[in-house]
């Protein structure tokens, strides 16, 4: 295995505004500790309480979605690993990005749902959230009610965006980007 060039990695993080990056197996304890560190770091930057809450909420939602997906599909090993990045863009907005390996069909369905949400304005997102809250939950569904995804879209300052990169015939790497 070749040695990691930490300086080059640090320079790439700095160029891209990355303030937190994680790649690997993701336990509930680790997710919680990274969340605490993120919140404390942002508070140290004297960010507004609403910005801290929005970024922290996006991080938690994306992290939980990845963990729940892996658990619901019985995924383990490298397929259960996650990549999560919190950065700042050129306009100073926070960007929370996360990705994981998914079944290609699940990724395509999620892409379609993200496209639906990205096409909605704030009023439509609010209405969708309320409708989802009132809708009966399917006890056989493998996923949650979808409220978290709608909430992410509502908190975001830009439409949600995603990417699906095929890995083989059955799997793909799904990534989601939330701009706060």
Q: Which residues of the chain have pLDDT under 70?
A: 78-79, 138-145
Global confidence as pTM:
0.89
Digit-coded pLDDT (tens) for 50-92: 999 999 999 999 999 998 898 888 777 766 789 999 999 999 9
The CATH architecture to which 6-179 belongs is 2-Layer Sandwich (3.30)
The reported pLDDT for the residue numbered 136 is 84
The reported pLDDT for the residue numbered 146 is 87
The reported pLDDT for the residue numbered 162 is 98
Cα 76 to Cα 78: distance, rounded to the nearest angstrom: 7
């Amino acid at each position: 295995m070749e040695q990691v060039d930490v300086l080059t990695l640090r320079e790439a993080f700095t160029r891209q505004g990355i303030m937190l990056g994680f790649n690997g197996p993701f336990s509930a304890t680790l997710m919680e500790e990274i969340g605490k560190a993120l919140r404390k770091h942002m508070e140290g930057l004297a960010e507004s309480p609403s910005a801290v809450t929005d970024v922290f909420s996006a991080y938690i939602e994306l992290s939980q979605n990845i963990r729940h997906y892996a658990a619901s599909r019985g995924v383990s090993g490298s397929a259960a690993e996650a990549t999560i990045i919190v950065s700042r863009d050129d306009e100073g907005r926070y960007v929370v990005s996360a990705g994981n390996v998914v079944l290609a069909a699940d990724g395509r369905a999620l892409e379609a749902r993200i496209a639906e949400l990205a096409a909605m304005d704030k009023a439509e997102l609010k209405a969708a959230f309320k409708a989802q809250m009132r809708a009966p939950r399917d006890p056989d569904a493998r996923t949650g009610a979808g409220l978290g995804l709608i909430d992410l879209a509502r908190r975001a300052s830009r439409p949600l965006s995603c990417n699906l990169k095929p890995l083989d015939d059955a799997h793909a790497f799904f990534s989601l980007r939330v701009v706060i």
